[in-house]
Structures are given as structure tokens and as C-alpha cells.
A and B are shown apart, each in its own frame.
Chain A
Amino acid sequence: MRANEVKGREEHPFLRLCERVMEREINRRDFLKTGAILGGSALLVSHLPYFYRSLSPAYADSPSTSSFLYDLQLPQNQIYTTCLACHANCSVKAKVLEGVVVKLDGSPYSPMNILKPLTYSAKPQQVARFDAPLCPKGQAAIQSLYDPYRIRKVLKRAGPRGSGKFITIPFEQAIREIVEGGYLFKDIGENRYIAGFREVLALRDPKVAKTLADDVKLIQQGKMTVQEFQQKHRENLSYLIDPNHPDFGPKNNQFVFMAGRIEHGRIEFSKRFVNGSAGSINWFEHTTICEQSHHIAYDRVSAAWEDGKFGKGKTHMKPDVQEAEFIIWFGTGAYEANFGVNPLSRRTSEGYASGRLKMVVVDPRMSKTASKAIKWIPIRPGTDAAFALGMIRWIFENQRYDENFLKNANSAAASQNGESSYTDATFLVRWEDNHSIKYVRASEIGLGQPQERLGKDGKPYLFDPFVVMRMGSPTPVDPLDKTHPVTGELFVDTTLQGIRIKSVLQVVKEEAFQHTIEEWAEICGISADDIRSVAKEFTSHGKKAVVEFYRGPVQHTNGFLTALVLIYLNLLIGNIDWAGGLSAGGGHWHEIGDKSGQPFPVDSLHPGKLIPFGIPLTREGVFYEKSSLFSGYPARRIWFPFSKNVYQEVIPSAYENYPYPIKILWNHMGTPAYSTPAGTEFIRMLQDTEKFPLIISTDIVVGDTTLYADYIFPDTHYLEEWGTLHLTPLITLKCSPIRQPVAYPVPEIVQVNGEEMPCSMEAVMIAIAHMLGLSGFGEGGFSPEFPLKRPEDYYLKLMANLAYGDGPGEELPDADEEEMELFVRARKHLPPAVFHPEKWQKAVGEKLWRKVVFLLNRGGRFEDASKAYSGEKLEHKFGKLLRFFIEEVSSAKNSITGHPFPPIGTYQPISHSDGSPVSYPDYPFLLISYKDVFSTQSRTVNNYWTQLNFKPENFVEIHTSDAVHLGLHDGDMVRVISPVNEKGQVDLHNGQIMDLLVRVKVSEGIRPGVVAISHHYGHWAYGASDILIDGKLIKGDPRRKTGISPNPLMLRDKKIPHTCLADPIGGSASFYDTPVKLLKG
């Protein structure tokens, strides 16, 4: 429906305005209507003059620009949104001309883009001519938006999985087929019945679901037997995957959603569908192939002590690069990858050039950041913890730790001593043997009985204080106590009432003293003097020194324990909450609406919501010992009680039916076969139609993994969709950048329940929910008043929550008339299926609408730059307990070996899941990988300006001495092989084999014995190979097929079939532990 057809517009001055503006709209639909992928005609671009004589006569003018108007400076040609070239979420000023996105720059409203953002209240008209920086991959995203290989219509497989043969089918037909199931591929000779969503989503009654879920919990707690459960629920057993294992949960769990890249907004939307409407517990994203052990370690260290237990923590902390004087980058840096390159580069370069900031880079590869560092430490991969423990030993030996910080045992003591956060350094632990240690509680040593307290949820709980040693006597401590300061002794090793007792810091110290600094240095293959000098420098800047790491040190089998040790360095100097120290981030306004007074608490506005239950397919967040599958050690596959989103386990677990078989796999914006270590193993599994009866995908192209799907639904590009993003804690200001539709959508416009929208993940979910009458969508999706029939019905409510703020008095101002007009004019090129002013306004109500426009006109909500610091500290502080000792991990067991996990952060050699060392003496080089600054993961091979322009193919980088030894020269072609890939090939199981042949680049900037291969290359789909659609050949672009991916070489676990090595605590997949060999030719 067009704006000028809207009824009742007389009542709304705003709508009259829309009508006025939209009447002037030129229909720009032509240029994106069809594409080659559909078998339609190519884009209509202007026919260009190919000879200089046909130039526009304007060139004959005199060289003056005075009468010229530069369109891109006009605010009506600009929309602010948020980048998704990587996950950092820099703000973007997108410039749109005649419906085409022509230029992406950074937004000056966000501290992600410039040091000091412009005043938030500045009108978009005022800042229209002020552009801010955006990194190369961000700017090149125009080329992924307009990738000639983007799909417009739903593709259905027309040959075996991976054959690359598809037909286009109407959206409605595709939805009907995946919902109803049946003999869907009979016409291509697959005579098998496929269960659709209707059958798989068996359990729909929220009351039944809740009683089943409650009793499964009782089974897990040992309070109910399976027999009792079966007896009690005999009428509902048919809803379960396996009545003999009620803890597998309902059949709904056989629908599995795995997302590669998914961000806030879409996370919540898809969880609403998968968890709340479809009732499946199996919603996953890709985090373990990214940096999960880093996240889990920070999360455990900072876990909130609340109601007598440790809850959620902060998964990410970062240096305040703005004020820091010294940063040690472990396996990461400021100028490539990390989180994110835009803000890190700007602050780091400023600090480096002004002389404020000194840096050390610990990395086997000399990164761009190492080029600016005072020292590059080319460490042996996987040994970062040994380096850090050497530093810790030196710090203890020389008493360079911050005693004033570490002695504080509660909030009151911290305040008294000028700190805001505090640690468990002085807490006492029972040391019976060197594992399964526990905090000493007051009642255990006769310091009174546990006290009953009232929890946040109003329920009483027992609080048994922790204990510290104070002037020789054990003293109870309540960490949250803000009025009675308690400090403790740092080093305690004694016996109390027959119990051997140590302080936590004592345990850390003993760990560091396991080896001499020389021995630690020996493990990491560097000199002991480097450890000493770095430790000295690190402890010479007060609070303004920080240890920073991300993915490098933790994507190893020892990831979590390494991460803990690295965090210890920050804790030892007490840099948290200080300017130039460790920042927990400025945080964000809450889009979900769970803060007091917020207009749309979307999670609870879900009548008939299902509570999903059961063991996740990846066995994450649950203890093996508490499951009905427990049968001693080893377990068949690893259980991950402390991790989540264990991406590398989704496909092999389903393939192994462990813990249970699945029926529908939805792969959203992800490419597990390409991005996961040893992921090419998945190809063979995904072709098994017994184990994976139905695979659906949402993707913008036929990707390297979606190639193996049964149905591919076109998805929106980030310039066509919504999001509510959260920023890296590097940003010390409170910020809520948003993503909103900028471009006329490339995917076809589909109709669902009378509403038009671009084909996308959201459209598929809305359509499935509509066809099945699932809760939380459609008429009454939120409440009788508010339907959820199109994406904006959901996302604009999140925007309204942000515009309202986190509490009364935080509302944004109303957009004025001028801004309201600008808002509409800037969107005149969008079709009503996207921009429908009346429906947009209706989604949030008239009262909030102008506030929402104020927010959308600025691409989000950003705190004023004056709020960064308060005195010498950060304004936004963590301000709570931080732990060296992770009690819950220490008291759990490794599900494969049955051994308890180590009690404290430590160095562990790289190993298989059974603890056996990774040792392949015939393979002389250790393979590492990295990301180029102009590329992201799997998604930038369509960036002709950048990836294929700056580096048309990737290399294997090798040290000069190694190259000489092997007789290799720059540019020589080699085949890379590994113990699990002795042929140096990738079998695509469609008749094609890819050779892992790559050119050599000889460099001084890499540790001898290590070779590096960058990511982003070695694609076999994503436009790299020919595919057949509706019988027409779509030729691949050979430029996209160059180079190799390091992932197909990576080690698989010895004991656990079909999977890479992994960290059993943090869940991270191992990327840097594979030995390889280079063969000439």
C-alpha cells in the first residue's frame, strides 16, 4: 500500500507530509527487479560512452566548480546505520542516490568512528557535510550489497546436495513445503519422506511444556526418576524425542537453528521464533569458532555475586586505549581484525604518534601493530599462558603487584582505598589436594551459621560468608558489603581446624612458581629477559597499562585457562575502572524493554510463549554427570557445562545422533564448512539425508555451505535490515547504534498474511509461524493491540525502547517538523514493503513516534563525550567482585578424561580431548592464520575494490631461514599438507577436488617453524564456481577461487569423530595447533 492510499491520513499531519514527499518519488524498482541469478535480465545500468569523444559536454566547461552542487552532501541523500562488514558495529553514513547506495562513510555521531563524537543533539542537516572514517571493509560493503551473485528468489535443490543445481520456486511454495514436509525431492529421485515443521514442532501447549520442563529439572537434580516421570506424564510422552531420556526434551529440539553471523536485534527476533514459538532449545551462533574461551573466561572472572551464587558476568573487557600508556597485545592488535579496527586504529595511532602509548606485541606473526611496538615477541603458538606466568612470577618476586587493590575483600574496602572493583585474592580456599578446591565458608570454621537473606526474586537464600585472614585471624566477609571494609592478607598458607587453607593469591603465586622464568621462557621459545623486561614495563605505568587479547591465545585446547592467566595480569596491577586501564565499557540502552517504564518488554509480550527445555544438541550449559546419558568416562563426545554456542559441534553431533538425531537444520548467514577448523569434513555429513533430512538456509548468495542446502531463502544484506547493536568495551561511553533499511532490497518482495516484505530470515519465520499459528507472531503477536506481521512491528519496538531510555526522564526529544520531513525524504526510494510510514508509526504508537524518528535520524543513541571519565577513573565502572579462582570450574570434571579441571589459570600443553599431546614430528611447521585488515571471514570475496584488488590471492608466509632450508623462494607454489589432510586437497563431494596449492611469501616477520595463511581465500562457492539455476548456467568468477583456506588442514580430535580439537572448558575450536608440511610444486 502506498502512502497516498493510506486511509485516515487527515488525522496525521505526519502522514500528510509523507504523502507530499512520496508523490515526488520516482519509481526506482526497475534497476534491481531481476537479476541473472534468477534467470532474469541483468541490471539496467546506463549505457556508458566508451570513447572520449562521447563525453558529456560539461567537460568542455572551464575548470570551476562554483555552480556545482555535490548531491552526496545533502541530508536527504543520507541515512545513518551500522556497519556489519565485521562485528565491531561502527556507525555508517550511507549515501543514496536515485535509489542506489553509492558511498559509505563513517558517522560523526559515534565514538566508534572519531575520537570525540559530535554533539548528539546536532541535527542531521547540520552534520550532513561532515564525514567520519570507516575502515576499508566497511566502505567496500557496497560490493557485497550489490554482489552480482546475490540471490533474489528462493532456490530449491534440483540435484544431489552440493551439485549446484537449483530451481527457483515461489516463496509461498517453499514455505508450504518446509512446513508440511512430504516427499519433497521425489522428482529428482529421492524417494524419502521428510518431516516438516508441522510435524517436528510437536509440542505447542505452553502449560504442558512447562510441567514437562519442571520435571526434567527434577530428574537432573536427582529428585525424580525417569520411571516416575514416565508415569506422571504418560499422556504427553509422545511429545518427547525419547521417553527413556526425558532430558533430551521435546521433539521440537530436532529443529536446529545455527547462525554464523547474527547480531542483536536479529538475535532476539530469531530466539523469539526458535525458543519461544517453535519451542526448540537449539539456537546457536558461531562464537566458539571466534573467541568464545576469551568470553567465557572474562564472564567467569566477573561473574556477578548475587543471591548467594555466581551469576552472569561481562564477557568482554578492553583497554581504554584513549588514555593507556602501555598495552601488551597478546595474539591480537589494533590494526587488523580485533574489535574493531576503526576505533582501535584511531586511538592507537594518536597514542603512538603523541608518545603517550608504548606497545608490546606477543604474536608468532609480526602484525601491523607489531610494526609500531617497542618490542615484537614472536612466541611459540599456544604458549601465551607460559609467558604470562613468567611475568607473574617476576611481578611476585619483585612485589610489583598492587597490594592496595588486591587486599580489598569487599566493596566497602575498595571505596575506602580509592578503588571501585575488588577481587577474591585474599579469600581463603580449602586445599585438600591440588584439585577440587573450594572457597572456605565462615560456618565451616566456626565463624557462625549461614544467614538467611532475601534474594532479588523475593525468595530467601542462605548466605555463608567467605573468609579472609586479617591480622592472623580468619574474618568473614560479604563481598557486597558497602559499609564495613574488610581487607585481607594476600599470602596465606596455614591449617585451620585441621583443614589446609590458602589464600587465592597464594595459589596463583604457587602456580607461577612451578617454573623459573627461564623455564617458562623455554616453553614459549623466547628469552627470559624478554619476560622480565615486559613485566617491568607493564608494572611501570601504574593503572595505565593493560593486557589485551582476543582470539589468538584462546583458540587453542588450553584457551580458557590461558585466558584466565592473561586476565590475572590485569588484576595484579588493579587497572580495572581506571582511565587508561581495563574498561568494562560504557554499555548501552536496553532495547528489549526490560527496564522500568520501558514501553515494549518484547520478551514478555509473547502470549502463549513456549519455554524450551532439554539438553542442547551441543551439550552446552549442562553437566554430563547430571544427564541420563552418563555412563562413566569418556563420554562419547565432549560436554561443555561452561560454554555456549559451541558451533563446531552442531553438525557432527547431529551426524552422530549424540545426544539425539535431528530433523531440520536451518543454517542462517553462516558457512560452517568453510569457517570451522576441519569444517570441510562437514560436507560429507551434510550430504547424508538420513542424518540431515531437511536443510534450509538463509543467505545472500549460494555460499560455500548453503551450496549443500535443500532450500536457500534469499536474506537481506545489512544495508537492507534492522539491528540494535552493542559496542566493544573499548568505547567507554554509553552507546546504542542501530541498523535500519537503507537500500532498496535486492531479494524479492514476498507476501505473508497480507503483508509485503523482502524475503529474509524474518519473512521466513513470520511465514512459518503464520502457517502453523505459532505464538508470538501474527495478529495479537505481542498483545491484542499489537500484531507482529512484518519485521518493523518487532524492530521498531526495540527502537522505541531505546528512544525511551532505561528509565523515566531518559526519553529522547521529539523530532521537529524539519527532521520529520527529512526522515521521509531520505527514504523516498524505499518500497512500501520496507518503508511504510503509517505502519511504522502504528508499530510504536503516536506518542513515541517522533522520538523514534529522532533516534533513526542519527543512527542510534550516543552519550555525550564528556561522560567518559570521572576524575582519574572511567565514568562507567565495573565496580564489583572479580575472581582469580573459578570455584565452579574447579569442582567440575572433564567429560572425556574424568579428571577435575585445574583449580586456577595455568599453562597446559596442547592436547587431544583425551589429554594426549599433539605431536607429529614429521610435520615441521605449526600453522597459524590471521585476517587481513580489508577482509572479514568468509564474506568479503565479493569485494573487488579491496580483497581482490589489494591481494588477489593469499600466501603461505614462511621465515627466510625455513625457506632457505626448503629451497623455496617468493612466489613458489607449494602444496600444504597436514596429518589429517595428507593429500593437501579438499573433496567437495560433488565431483570436484580443490588442491591446497598456494604461493610462498618469504618474510622476516614470522617465527621460524611457524607458517601463516590468511583467511578469506580458497572459496569453492560464493560465486567462485559455476552453478545451474532453472537449467541456466551461472558462471563462477575465477577471481573468487584463488588462494587457499587454512581450515581444511586443521587437526581433528583423535578420540572424537568428525570434529576439530577444542577447549573443553571455554568451548573454543582450535585454530592454531595444527602441524603442516610444505611440498614443492
Chain B
Amino acid sequence: MPVIKEDDLERMQRDLERALKKPIKQRSWVMLIDTRKCSGCRSCVVACISENALPPGVNYRRVSEVENGTYPEVAKVFMPFNCYHCDDPPCAKAAPKGAIQKRPDGIVILDYSRFSSREEVKKVIDSCPYGAISEDTLHFWSEGTPERAPYDGKKPSYEYGKKTLGRARVPRKCHFCVHRVDQGMLPACVVNCICGATLFGDIQDPDSLVSELMAKNITYQKDEGLPTHPRVYYLAESFDVETNLKACALCHTGTEVKPYERK
């Protein structure tokens, strides 16, 4: 008899709570994006903007959409993308000392207060081979309307576990919603992915959903031959990998993408 299956979110919530019981050094967060499931709705993007009070021009998460093929054998490919939380992040090297750090659980975090010049900001933005970092140019969504809307400034940001209304011309990027993760909640893009395509969990836990899916399926990464070691993996059918990578490349012009080989 058919039954309604448990939602992956419930499983991932358990995985998360289990991981948080371990010391931080024994956790290793990864994001797995199942491109088979993604429909390019950009719910993740809105969730991110809304959760992190992002202003216009600051994109932590993007979804590229590429049309492939010729009529009538044609399809669209959707490729979500955010900071890859590289294990060897070029941005950390480009940043002022201590401004960008790698947490023991893999999350790459920023300390906005360590930036003191536009040059520093620019250097960090340029250092990312994936274009994951953008500058806060201090704009608001409701600029040019009769009044400043409450979602533009009334809503605090909780980034990096600090409740603030402050804004500054700093580099900004995805932080895996560390303020949620540390409190036992999945990242905003993960919970709001209506297709269930964005998955998150502890790769060091063999029982986690992400570990299970990575063991069973073909995954690949966009590492460009750089020793960056990203923490975001893409899952695809073997026959889709090529088109997906093409889509990736189209979005990140001039860069090359290689399938990930599991060690």
C-alpha cells in the first residue's frame, strides 16, 4: 500500500540536530544541489534575500537558466549557485587579516568590521573565481517610492549571529545561514526549496542524507582546477552532466568546469 513518504527536510533536520551534538571540529557541512529536481523557481534566492535582509545588488544565491538544444528537442537547465565555502578559500587570502575565516565545520565567515577601505573590499570580491561575493552598495528596494518600506531597514539582520540593523560598504556572501545552522535550523534556501533540490548536512556523518546521496549518485563540482576544494556539490544524471556544466560555464564566462571525481 502506498504511503506518504517522509519529507527530506525532516530527515535533514534530524541529521542537523545529531551533528550539533558533536564538537564543531567533527562536523563538516556541505551543500548538495540536485539539479534533476531544480525547476529554477528562485524560491531559494528570495528566501536568502528575505532571511538576510539583502539589499538590491547583493546576491548570495543565484540561479542561472540556460536553454539547450534545438526545436523541438530543447530543454532548460537550471543551475543554483552560492558561495562554495572552499576549504582553501582564495578570498581569505585576499582579505585583511582575520576578516575572512574558515570555521572548523567548513563554513567561511566574514567579519565586516575588519574592512576599512574600498580597496580591501574590491580585492576580496575579485579574488573569488566563482563570483560569489558582492559589495553592499547601500541601496534599498523601495528607493524611488513614496516611503521606505519596513522590509528595507526595519528588519534586522542576524548574519553571523549578530542582530543588527547596520549596513556598510562591505563584501557580502553566503554564509550557509550560520546563524540558523548553529541554532539547529537548516539554511533558509534549503527549507524554502520547493523542489527539494537543495540539500544540506554533515558529510562526516555517514548516516546523513547528503552522505547517502553522494555515495549513491554522480556528483560533480566546479573546481576549475584550482585547489579551492568547494563544499557545494551538484548531483545529476550522467547524461545531464555535460549540459549542466555547459550551463555553469555560460554563467561563469571563461571558466572551465570539470566533473568531480570521488576520492
Q: Do A and B come from one complex?
A: yes
Binding site for B on A (CB under 8 A): 31-32, 35-37, 42-43, 45-46, 48-56, 58-61, 63-66, 68-73, 97, 100, 102-106, 108, 111, 114-116, 118, 129-136, 139-140, 142-143, 146-149, 322-323, 334-335, 341-342, 345-346, 348-350, 352-353, 366, 368-372, 376-378, 579-580, 865-866, 868-872, 933-934, 944-946, 949-950, 959-961, 1003-1005, 1008, 1023, 1034-1035, 1037-1039
Main secondary structure of the interface of B (DSSP, over half): loop
Number of A-B contacts (CB under 8 A): 311
Q: How far is the CB of A93 from chain B (nearest CB, A)?
A: 10
- 12 inter-chain pairs at a CB distance below 8 angstroms, sorted by A residue, are A45-B154, A55-B113, A59-B164, A71-B158, A72-B158, A133-B193, A136-B46, A148-B148, A323-B2, A934-B41, A945-B141, A949-B49
Q: How far is the CB of B50 from chain A (nearest CB, A)?
A: 6
Q: Which of B40, B67, B163, B194 contacts A135 (CB 8 A)?
A: B194
The answer, yes or no, to whether B76 is at the interface (CB within 8 Å) is: yes
Q: Which residues of A contact B47 (CB under 8 A)?
A: 105, 139
The list of the 3 closest CB pairs from A to B, nearest first, reads A65-B161, A36-B146, A52-B168
The answer, yes or no, to whether B3 is at the interface (CB within 8 Å) is: yes
State whether A349 and B39 are in contact (beta carbons under 8 Å apart), knowing that A133-B194, A136-B46 are contacts in the complex.
yes
State whether A143 and B162 are in contact (beta carbons under 8 Å apart), knowing that A59-B113, A70-B183, A133-B194 are contacts in the complex.
no
Q: Which of B1, B2, B42 contacts A322 (CB 8 A)?
A: B2
Q: Which residues of A contact B109 (CB under 8 A)?
A: 63
Question: Are A345 and B67 in contact (CB-based, < 8 A)?
Answer: no
Question: Are B155 and A61 in contact (CB-based, < 8 A)?
Answer: no
State whether A132 and B9 are in contact (beta carbons under 8 Å apart), knowing that A58-B162, A139-B47 are contacts in the complex.
yes
Q: Which of B49, B78, B148 contacts A43 (CB 8 A)?
A: B148
Q: How far is the CB of A514 from chain B (nearest CB, A)?
A: 27
State whether A865 and B56 are in contact (beta carbons under 8 Å apart), knowing that A70-B179, A341-B41 are contacts in the complex.
no
The answer, yes or no, to whether B178 is at the interface (CB within 8 Å) is: yes
Roughly how many angstroms separate A292 CA and B76 CA in the complex, as a whole number? 31
Interface residues of B in 1-23 (CB under 8 A from A): 1-7, 9-10, 13
Q: Which residues of A contact B75 (CB under 8 A)?
A: 366, 370-372, 376
Q: Which residues of B contact A45 (CB under 8 A)?
A: 148, 150, 152-154
Contact pattern, B 74-91, Cβ under 8 Å of A = 1, otherwise 0: 111110000000000000
Q: Which residues of B contact A1005 (CB under 8 A)?
A: 67, 71, 74, 76
State whether A1004 and B45 are in contact (beta carbons under 8 Å apart), knowing that A100-B154, A115-B6 are contacts in the complex.
no
State whether A42 and B164 are in contact (beta carbons under 8 Å apart), knowing that A73-B183, A345-B41, A352-B36 are contacts in the complex.
no
The answer, yes or no, to whether B43 is at the interface (CB within 8 Å) is: yes
Question: Are B71 and A56 in contact (CB-based, < 8 A)?
Answer: no
Question: Are B153 and A63 in contact (CB-based, < 8 A)?
Answer: no
Question: Are A871 and B1 in contact (CB-based, < 8 A)?
Answer: yes
The answer, yes or no, to whether B103 is at the interface (CB within 8 Å) is: yes
Question: Are B43 and A139 in contact (CB-based, < 8 A)?
Answer: yes
Question: Are B42 and A950 in contact (CB-based, < 8 A)?
Answer: yes
Known A108-B9, A135-B43, A136-B42; 16 more pairs at CB < 8 Å = A52-B113, A52-B168, A55-B166, A59-B162, A59-B164, A60-B113, A63-B101, A65-B160, A115-B4, A116-B4, A139-B43, A335-B39, A345-B39, A353-B36, A371-B77, A869-B4
Q: How far is the CB of A360 from chain B (nearest CB, A)?
A: 12
Which one of B184-192, B200-208, B223-231 is at the A interface? B184-192
Roughly how many angstroms separate A1003 CA and B68 CA in the complex, as a whole number? 10
Q: Which residues of A contact B241 (CB under 8 A)?
A: none
Interface residues on B, range: 35 or more
Question: Are A143 and B141 in contact (CB-based, < 8 A)?
Answer: yes
Q: Which residues of B contact A52 (CB under 8 A)?
A: 112-113, 115-116, 168-170
Q: Which residues of B contact A139 (CB under 8 A)?
A: 43, 46-47, 50, 192
Q: Which residues of B contact A960 (CB under 8 A)?
A: 71
Query: Which chain A residue lies CB-closest to B118?
Result: A52
The answer, yes or no, to whether B254 is at the interface (CB within 8 Å) is: no
Question: Are B112 and A55 in contact (CB-based, < 8 A)?
Answer: yes
Q: Which residues of A contact B147 (CB under 8 A)?
A: 35-36, 42-43, 148
Roughly how many angstroms separate A102 CA and B169 CA in the complex, as a whole number? 23
Question: Are B41 and A335 in contact (CB-based, < 8 A)?
Answer: yes
Q: Which of A31, A46, A71, A140 contacts B165 (CB 8 A)?
A: A46
Roughly how many angstroms separate A877 CA and B192 CA in the complex, as a whole number? 31
Q: Which residues of A contact B145 (CB under 8 A)?
A: 148-149, 1023, 1037
Q: Which residues of A contact B192 (CB under 8 A)?
A: 105-106, 131, 133-134, 139
State whether A368 and B2 are in contact (beta carbons under 8 Å apart), knowing that A59-B162, A131-B192 are contacts in the complex.
no
Question: Are B7 and A116 in contact (CB-based, < 8 A)?
Answer: yes
Q: How far is the CB of B149 from chain A (nearest CB, A)?
A: 4
Q: How far is the CB of B30 from chain A (nearest CB, A)?
A: 19
Q: How far is the CB of B225 from chain A (nearest CB, A)?
A: 29
The answer, yes or no, to whether B214 is at the interface (CB within 8 Å) is: no
Query: Which chain A residue lies CB-closest to B44?
Result: A136
Contact pattern, B 201-240, Cβ under 8 Å of A = 1, otherwise 0: 0000000000000000000000000000000000000000
Q: Which of A61, A129, A147, A346 contacts B195 (CB 8 A)?
A: A346
The answer, yes or no, to whether B51 is at the interface (CB within 8 Å) is: yes
Question: Are A68 and B161 in contact (CB-based, < 8 A)?
Answer: yes
Q: Which residues of B contact A1039 (CB under 8 A)?
A: 144
Roughly how many angstroms separate A801 CA and B156 CA in the complex, as a whole number? 39
Q: Which residues of A contact B41 (CB under 8 A)?
A: 135-136, 335, 341, 345, 368, 933-934
Q: Which residues of B contact A49 (CB under 8 A)?
A: 166-168
Q: How far is the CB of A1010 from chain B (nearest CB, A)?
A: 11
Question: Are B76 and A65 in contact (CB-based, < 8 A)?
Answer: no
Interface residues of B in 107-137 (CB under 8 A from A): 109, 111-113, 115-116
Q: Which residues of B contact A579 (CB under 8 A)?
A: 2
Q: Which of B146, B148, B166, B180 contacts A54 (CB 8 A)?
A: B166
Roughly how many angstroms separate A587 CA and B233 CA in the complex, as a whole number? 41
Q: Which residues of A contact B34 (CB under 8 A)?
A: 353
State whether A1035 and B191 are in contact (beta carbons under 8 Å apart), knowing that A52-B170, A868-B3 are contacts in the complex.
no
State whether A869 and B2 are in contact (beta carbons under 8 Å apart), knowing that A59-B162, A70-B180, A136-B43 are contacts in the complex.
yes
Roughly how many angstroms separate A522 CA and B10 CA in the complex, as a whole number? 50
Q: Which residues of A contact B76 (CB under 8 A)?
A: 366, 368, 371, 1005
The answer, yes or no, to whether B142 is at the interface (CB within 8 Å) is: yes
Q: How far is the CB of A958 from chain B (nearest CB, A)?
A: 12
Q: How far is the CB of B95 from chain A (nearest CB, A)?
A: 13
The answer, yes or no, to whether B197 is at the interface (CB within 8 Å) is: yes
Roughly how many angstroms separate A57 CA and B66 CA in the complex, as a whole number? 44
User: A55, A60, A866 — which one has the most chain B CB atoms within 10 A of its CB?
Assistant: A55
User: B38, B151, B195 — which one has the most chain A CB atoms within 10 A of its CB?
Assistant: B195
Q: How far is the CB of B25 from chain A (nearest CB, A)?
A: 14
Q: Which residues of B contact A868 (CB under 8 A)?
A: 2-4
Q: How far is the CB of B27 from chain A (nearest CB, A)?
A: 14
Query: Which chain B residue lies CB-closest to A1029?
Result: B146
Q: Which of A48, A130, A377, A959 contacts B71 (CB 8 A)?
A: A959
Q: Which residues of B contact A140 (CB under 8 A)?
A: 46, 50
Roughly how many angstroms separate A179 CA and B150 CA in the complex, as a whole number? 36
Q: Which residues of A contact B116 (CB under 8 A)?
A: 52-53
The answer, yes or no, to whether B182 is at the interface (CB within 8 Å) is: yes
Q: How far is the CB of A830 from chain B (nearest CB, A)?
A: 16
Roughly how many angstroms separate A169 CA and B163 CA in the complex, as a whole number? 41
Q: How far is the CB of A175 from chain B (nearest CB, A)?
A: 27
Q: Which residues of A contact B72 (CB under 8 A)?
A: 366, 376-378
Question: Are A148 and B168 in contact (CB-based, < 8 A)?
Answer: no
Roughly how many angstroms separate A53 CA and B112 CA in the complex, as a whole number? 10
The answer, yes or no, to whether B138 is at the interface (CB within 8 Å) is: yes
The answer, yes or no, to whether B93 is at the interface (CB within 8 Å) is: no
Roughly how many angstroms separate A65 CA and B37 CA in the complex, as a whole number? 33
Question: Are B154 and A46 in contact (CB-based, < 8 A)?
Answer: yes
State whether A341 and B184 are in contact (beta carbons under 8 Å apart), knowing that A55-B113, A65-B178, A65-B179 are contacts in the complex.
no
The answer, yes or no, to whether B70 is at the interface (CB within 8 Å) is: yes
Q: How far is the CB of B11 from chain A (nearest CB, A)?
A: 11
State whether A1004 and B155 are in contact (beta carbons under 8 Å apart), knowing that A70-B185, A350-B37, A368-B40 are contacts in the complex.
no
Q: Which residues of A contact B154 (CB under 8 A)?
A: 31, 43, 45-46, 100, 102
